Structure 1
Amino acid sequence: MYKAKRRLGLVFFPAFDWAISPTHPEREERLLYTQDQVFEEGILDIEGIREYRPRLASTGDVERVHICVPDVQSRTTESHLIAAGGAIVAAEAVLKGEVDKAFAIIRPPGHHSFRIVHGARGFCNINMEAIMLEYIRRHYGPKRIAIVDTDCHHGDGSQDIYWHDKDTLYISLHQDGRTLFPGTGFLNEFGGPNAFGYTLNLPLPPDTGEEGFLYALEHFILPVLAEFKPDLVINSAGQDNHYTDPITNMRFSAQGYARLNDRLQPDIAVLEGGYSIEGALPYVNAGIILALAGLDYSRVREPDYTPEKVAQSPRVSEYIARLCDESYQAWQQRDTLREEYIRGKKEISRRRRIFYDTEGLMETQQETTRVCHDCGGVTWIDSRTDQGRHILAIFIPRDACPRCQEEGHALFESSHTIDYPDGVFLQDRLEDKLFKK
């Protein structure tokens, strides 16, 4: 009998009852064609590959990561909670030692969901990987975790959630934000004052081909991971870099995705975007599954594949080589750069405008973080939307020192709802509680 070299767990959740519209590219067929391919190829009959059923994530699982306004029930459906629960099931299978790797092939996606959630943006309401990661840490102890986000769109939500967390290395490989939603993900987005250097972005030019993605993996991502030494590697597995994707401009193939996962060897992969429903996703997912299981993927090919469709110009190759070199140098100098960034400062603030494209809503955030040498630092955000909502959100990090925890609670107690009519929230990750008044 055909046997996997590495035991692999699969979780499927097509979310039959959730869609933005019947013809929207983010719809259930994204997964159904993959399921058909997996069944037809007999992949689930291979010894060592097993399917797991998803379960519901709890409200507490969501509140550990997000402040949903006004609450979780208003910002999620049952499908969102099952998708998040599916990611948790995949992680538990690995951490319990039942499998070596796991792939959560789920929807809706989540990597555009920020800490504060006023609605849907980039097809995302809540962040599946972050909910999974914080569940792991709550139930399996502290871990150094690396997220490698290979979605064509910058994972601005995942970046936001881990901006102040040096135990989570976030690396995003995406199409340049000057040419694609959400318009972020540049080299100077390097992390918050207490985790400076632990957010890394590679904004690739349009028409990047197979060569460029794999060059970035070998010359930037893998060397950084070797130095960071994570306990777990998570692939935020967007598949919209494919040469047939209708909303992006890249040139990756199913074979390329398989090779990337073969070299990266993530412990857990979680599906994100990818909207070439028939032309790409069944082949890409099959390639990833075989690569994770340690099986031969050399025959995985799209029906219309030609080498010309994944080729890139010498100019693009030169640009990517310079980009990787500059990014790697910055990573190696992160401690020096952090000292320059925080010198003489007790607090660091930033002001942002966040567009919810799915909702047609604009949020303005004024964020302030206490500079701290002992933890991620207490952070507070004054958040307003152009639809009239106004909240204060306070975040005490998972590794909070006594002073930052005390300051967070003092700020919560001294803030009044007369100033923030839609609520004052305190997310205390140390106590694993969300407070609201």
Structure 2
Amino acid sequence: MNNKSLGLVFFPAFDWAITPSHPEREERLLYTRDQIVEEGLLDLPNIREYRPKLAKIQDAQRVHIGVPDLTSLITDAHLVAAGGAITAAEAVMRREVTNAFALVRPPGHHAMRVVHGTRGFCTINMEAIMIEYLRRHYGLNRVAIVDTDVHHGDGSQDVFYHDPDTLFISFHQDGRTLYPGTGAISELGSPNALCATVNIPLPPGTTDEGLHYVLDQLVLPVLDDFGPDIIINSAGQDNHYSDPLANMAISAQGYARLAEKLNADIAVLEGGYSIEDALPYVNTGIILAMAGLDYSRVVEPDIARCPRQSETNNHYIAQLVGKWQEIWRERDGLRREAIAKAGEFWQRSRSIYYDDSGIQERQDETVRICPHCHGYQTISTQAEGYPFGVKTAFAAIIPRNSCRTCRSQAKDAVLKAKKAGRHDHYILQDKQQDTLEQV
């Protein structure tokens, strides 16, 4: 007997588009909705539809630092998409449904903590906003994100890179062959959160066979070891064999079996740009699987053109999984070594390109390695490509479990930077007090 129930949230964002013919457009959701209405899925007693609510700007500022400010960078469509993810999550938390799927746009998993514009079609990160909302309002702590988009979820990784209580798993087409060029195994998290970032860069041409080998041999065991309070699926569907923006070979059946095995509490739509040939079938399969219903007859009409996985890829994927199994077994020792090597502060410098906005950012980040809490972070950011020249900002981030010393040092760091006067904006994001302020 099937005791599962599924909540669905649709938001096609009719009034938001990058360009009228851009791959990321409203038809991505409209074809899916037509398909599930035609199949009568919304008439089933264990599938319930919810209307998305509007997220507050504070919900987004709990995650993001906008330069010059977040309100000038987003539209109501972004807040409704984030609100749709929150609506889905609240339906699960109130136990109205077993799990939920937010089919919303614009997407979000390329949006990093600092936001200067739009990159990879993303401006704010829907899953991150939803997760921090759940932590603030429902007291959740350990969260796992499994990102199944073909593109590496570099924004989600960035937001949670220093958080040992958030496990971020991304399997994606190898960044050496696809945007955004990141997601190597070596990107493990900063020292206190080492191995809470699990990147699995797959070779082009990976099929259902390879995907489920990774899932069974690595992803599911890692999730069991981590023991999350909740599992979030960043449900990108551009691994499909017909997707025009990538080179993978996953089918609707492969996605549906993934949804069944993963058994995520909440899924949030990300990419997927084969609007007619893939999305109606993939989304229908995922919906049926999440609702505990039979999905065996969900098959694309052109499934015969889906290629087989090569022996070369079989061997490569087995080696990749084996390497990660070894890292995961040694994670505690690796974390201790990284903390000892870093000393009191860990630093990195990066260049980040906003491909949709034409902005080039240079970012310097410092994290305090604190023995009593998650430390605090400071970010110095400089971005070129704005209509009116260069914009700079200095920000300090106080985590939700911060100790007294870290709170004090973070505030002092912003005041010291402001006194030096080298930036345009000075910002303090205090997750413990749930505030973001210009200093």
Length-normalised TM-score, structure 2: 0.97
Aligned equivalent of 1:422, options 421, 424, 434: 424
Match of 2:127 in 1: 129
CA offset digits 1:93-125 (Å, max 9, x no partner): 000110000000000000000000000000000
User: What residue is the counterpart of 1:319 in the other structure?
Assistant: 316
User: Could you give the per-residue CA deviations for residues 352-408 of structure 1, whole angstroms, max 9, x where no partner exists?
Assistant: 000111111110111111111222211101100123011001111112122111111
Name the structure 2 match of 1:336. Answer: 333
Aligned to 1:174: 172
Choose 420-429 or 103-112, whichever is displaced more: 420-429
Q: Which residue of 1 aligns with 2:23?
A: 25
8 Å contact 2:171–2:202 — kept in the other structure? yes
Which amino acid is 2:338 matched to?
Y
Give me the whole-angstrom Cα distance separating, in 2, the residues matched to 1:89 and 1:7: 15
User: For the aligned residues, what is the CA RMSD?
Assistant: 1.2
- Partner residue of 1:231 out of 213, 229, 232: 229
Could you report, residue by residue, the CA deviation over 1:192-229 in whole angstroms, capped at 9, with x for unpaired residues?
Answer: 12111100000000011110001000000000001001
Separation (CA, whole Å) in 1 of partners of 2:140 and 2:52: 24
Partner of 2:406, secondary structure, is helix
- Displacement, 1:88? 0.1
Find the counterpart in structure 1 of residue 384 from structure 2: 386
Q: Distance in 2 between matches of 1:144 and 1:381?
A: 25
Partner secondary structure for residue 306 of structure 2: helix
Gaps of 5+ in 1: none
Q: Distance in 2 between the 1:46 and 1:142 partners?
A: 31
The whole-number CA distance in structure 2 between the counterparts of 1:427 and 1:312 is 47
For these two proteins, the number of residue pairs brought into alignment is 434
- The answer as to whether partners of 1:375 and 1:399 remain within 8 angstroms in 2 is yes
CA contact (8 A) 2:394 2:423 kept: no
Does residue 149 of structure 1 match 2:151?
A: no
> What SS does the aligned partner of 2:332 have?
helix
- Going from structure 1 to structure 2, the CA distance change for 1:420 and 1:28 (only over 3 Å counts) comes to farther
Moved more, 120-129 or 190-199: 190-199
Structure 1 distance, partners of 2:218, 2:419, is: 47
Deviations 1:390-428 (A, max 9, x none): 100111111212211111112122221762442111111
Q: Which residue of 2 aligns with 1:411?
A: 413
TM-score of the two chains, using structure 1 as the length reference: 0.98
2: CA distance, partners of 1:123 / 1:278: 20
Please state whether the residue corresponding to 1:73 is helix, strand or coil.
coil
Shift of 1:310: 4.2
1:4–1:48: 8 Å Cα contact kept in structure 2?
A: no
Give yes or no for contact 2:232–2:264 (8 Å, CA) kept in 1: yes
> 1:76 Cα shift?
0.6
Aligned position for 1:41: 39
Q: Which amino acid aligns with 1:389?
A: K
SS of 1:279 mapped into structure 2? coil
What is the SS of the residue equivalent to 1:194? helix
- Aligned CA distance change for structure 1 residues 342 and 418 (closer, same or farther; 3 Å): closer
SS of match in other structure, 2:4: strand
Q: Given the alignment, which residue of 203, 206, 215 partners 1:205?
A: 203
Equivalent residue letter for 2:236 = G
Q: Report the residue type matching 1:185 in the other structure.
A: G
264 and 436 in structure 1: CA distance in 2 versus 1, 3 angstrom threshold: same
The residue correspondences of 1:259-270 to structure 2 (distance < 5 A) are 259-270=257-268
1:251-273 deviation digits (Å, cap 9, x = unpaired): 00111000001111000000000
Counterparts of 2:313 and 2:201, CA distance in 1 = 12
- Residue matched to 1:80: 78
Equivalent runs, 1:348-359 vs 2, <5 Å: 348-359=346-357
Q: Aligned partner of 1:338: which letter? A: R
Q: 2:87 aligns with which of 86, 89, 93?
A: 89
CA offset at residue 289 of structure 1?
0.2
- SS of residue in 1 equivalent to 2:191: coil
CA distance in 1, matches of 2:6, 2:270: 19
**Structure 1 residues 119 and 6, CA gap change in structure 2 (3 angstroms):** same
Distance 2:164 2:340 in 1: 19
CA distance in 1, matches of 2:3, 2:39: 18
Counterpart-to-counterpart distance in 1, 2:71 and 2:215: 39
Say whether 1:281 aligns with 2:279. Answer: yes
The SS at the match of 2:393 is strand
Work out which of the residue numbers 13, 18, 29 in structure 1 matches 2:11. Answer: 13
1:332 to partner: Cα distance = 2.0
Give unmatched runs, 5+ long, in structure 2.
none
Q: Secondary structure at the match of 1:135?
A: helix
